[in-house]
């Protein structure tokens, strides 16, 4: 694991809070057993429908977001699914992201797509906080415990998304047996986002891994860029949470369908690109409600 001094102060604070929660949970001594909704099948269904497989994130706030979204998370989640999200991610970290396990339970009850629990799990006992279809393990934070935590999560029935940020973490994830890998474009040491991260790590992953591009994806241009670099799915939080979540989800999900419509109309590969506000100059002409 990283030297804590190399992490952004907000991330150090997140990790210390996670360790305290793990300690509190250990006393309860209960383990969960999950019958998960199949994430791979959900991503394949989206592809088959012509939807870009998007995992839309219910993220009320974060250390890099101003303010907080106070709307009912269940309504937000339902809007994301109506907009075509293949799966959802729900923050359960309470102190820095405004999440909760209660929110995740309510969202999972309300939708029929797989739900990823987004939290900073550093200890096996934390896996038992709530049932979800997928749990996140961040290679950077769990260090040498990754194989044991991966096994402990699978023993409980969870599918596991292992998050990496560079090639060394990718190798550790693969050695541990991870098959669903998220490449986080956000550097958790500096909280800087660079889509080039996914582009540099993805070519080193085996073809049979499910690769998810995480963070910093806001425009249709970003969607094309991550898909061209090999992303099987995209995990998007802030850009969807900023405004009308259903419309925002639909805009990203329909990127390739809209590109196809333009190709068919013009017989060439002219495509509208998003402007600085993330708005597409072809949206009105090509987007119809799904």
Ligand X SMILES: O=C(O)c1ccccc1NCC(=O)[C@H](O)[C@H](O)COP(=O)(O)O
**Under the rule (CB under 6 A), what is the footprint of ligand X?**
10-11, 14, 57, 59, 62-64, 184, 186, 188, 191, 214-217, 235-239
- Judged by CB, which is closer to ligand X: 97, or 262? 97
- Judged by CB, which is closer to ligand X: 186, or 220? 186
Catalytic residue from among 62, 100, 132, 184: 184
118 is catalytic: yes
Nearest to 118 by CA among 32, 57, 193, 186: 57
215 is catalytic: yes
Catalytic residue from among 57, 169, 199, 246: 57
- Judged by CB, which is closer to ligand X: 83, or 216? 216
Minimum distance, C-beta of residue 267 to ligand X, in the bound complex (Å) = 35
Instruction: Give the C-alpha separation, 93 to 213, whole Å.
Output: 21
Instruction: Give the C-alpha separation, 245 to 230, whole Å.
Output: 25
Minimum distance, C-beta of residue 64 to ligand X, in the bound complex (Å) = 3
Minimum distance, C-beta of residue 238 to ligand X, in the bound complex (Å) = 3
- Judged by CB, which is closer to ligand X: 115, or 236? 236
With beta carbons less than 8 A apart as the criterion, state whether 53 and 236 touch.
no
Minimum distance, C-beta of residue 133 to ligand X, in the bound complex (Å) = 17
Tell me which residue has its CB nearest to ligand X.
237
Catalytic residue from among 100, 185, 215, 238: 215
57 is catalytic: yes
Minimum distance, C-beta of residue 8 to ligand X, in the bound complex (Å) = 7
Catalytic residue from among 93, 118, 185, 246: 118
- Judged by CB, which is closer to ligand X: 11, or 134? 11
Minimum distance, C-beta of residue 28 to ligand X, in the bound complex (Å) = 26
CA distances from 171 to 129, 130, 144 (A): 29, 29, 12
CA Rg value for the chain: 18
- Judged by CB, which is closer to ligand X: 33, or 64? 64
214 is catalytic: yes
Catalytic residue from among 93, 131, 163, 246: 163
With beta carbons less than 8 A apart as the criterion, state whether 124 and 32 touch.
no
Pairing of strands 87-91, 192-193: unpaired
Q: List, as own/partner pairs, every contact residues 22-30 make where C-beta atoms lie below 8 angstroms and the sequence separation is at least 24, other chains included.
A: 22/122, 22/123, 22/125, 22/126, 23/123, 25/123, 25/125, 25/126, 25/128, 25/129, 26/123, 26/125, 28/125, 28/128, 30/128
Q: What are phi and psi of 212, to 5 degrees?
A: -120, 125
Catalytic residue from among 124, 214, 219, 280: 214
Catalytic residues: 57, 59, 118, 163, 184, 214-215
């Amino acid at each position: 694991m990283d030297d804590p001094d190399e992490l952004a102060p907000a991330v150090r604070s997140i990790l210390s809070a996670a360790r305290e929660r793990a300690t509190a949970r250990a006393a309860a001594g209960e383990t969960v057993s999950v019958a998960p909704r199949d994430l791979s099948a959900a991503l394949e269904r989206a592809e088959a429908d012509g939807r870009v497989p998007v995992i839309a994130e219910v993220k009320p706030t974060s250390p890099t977001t101003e303010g907080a979204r106070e709307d009912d998370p269940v309504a937000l989640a339902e809007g994301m699914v109506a907009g075509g999200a293949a799966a959802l991610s729900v923050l359960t970290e309470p102190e820095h992201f405004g999440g909760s396990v209660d929110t995740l339970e309510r969202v999972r009850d309300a939708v029929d797509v797989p739900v990823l629990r987004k939290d900073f799990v550093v200890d096996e006992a934390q896996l038992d906080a709530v049932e979800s279809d997928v749990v996140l393990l961040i290679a950077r934070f769990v260090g040498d415990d990754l194989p044991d935590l991966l096994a402990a999560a699978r023993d409980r029935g969870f599918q596991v998304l292992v998050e990496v940020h560079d090639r060394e973490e990718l190798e550790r994830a693969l050695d541990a047996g991870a098959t669903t890998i998220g490449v986080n474009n956000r550097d958790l040491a500096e909280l800087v986002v660079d889509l080039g991260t996914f582009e540099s790590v993805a070519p080193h992953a085996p073809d049979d891994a499910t690769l998810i591009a995480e963070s910093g994806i806001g425009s249709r241009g970003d969607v094309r860029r991550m898909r061209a670099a090999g992303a099987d799915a995209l995990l998007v939080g802030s850009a969807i949470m900023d405004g009308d979540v259903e419309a925002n989800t639909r805009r990203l999900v329909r990127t390739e369908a809209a590109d196809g419509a333009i190709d068919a109309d013009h017989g060439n590969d002219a495509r509208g690109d998003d402007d600085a506000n993330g708005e597409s100059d072809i949206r009105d002409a090509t987007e119809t409600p799904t």
